[in-house]
Amino acid sequence: MWFNQDSRKIVKKQRSLYNRFKKTGDPFDHKLYAQYRKQAKKDMRQHKQAYSDQVSQEYHYKYKTEVEYGNHENVLSAVNVK
């Protein structure tokens, strides 16, 4: 899934900056880490919202097609929301 791949990249980059800061103790590295951490939180919120929107659209599309074809009693079984 694109959500998991992007999340892993964000966390990996944040962790590498943190490890570099802990290793060197340089205030500049701490500033970089703090900036990236703030940006990472923002990116994760955006990714989470985009993923939620995508799942919601898929659910409503499947629900709409089930109702159109008369299988509305099996809507929940037809939708595979993870």
Parent domain of 62: 2-78
State residue 5's pLDDT score: 82
| CA atoms of 43 and 22, how far apart (whole Å) | 24
The pLDDT value recorded for residue 67 is 59
pLDDT in tens, the chain (82 residues): 566 787 888 889 889 999 998 999 889 988 999 999 999 899 888 888 888 888 888 877 776 666 566 655 555 555 555 4
Number of domains present in the structure of the chain: 1
What local confidence, expressed as pLDDT, does residue 6 receive? 78
DSSP letters spanning 9-70: HHHHHHHHHHHHHHHH--HHHHHHHHHHHHHHHHHHHHHHHHHHHHHHHHHHHHHHHHHHTT
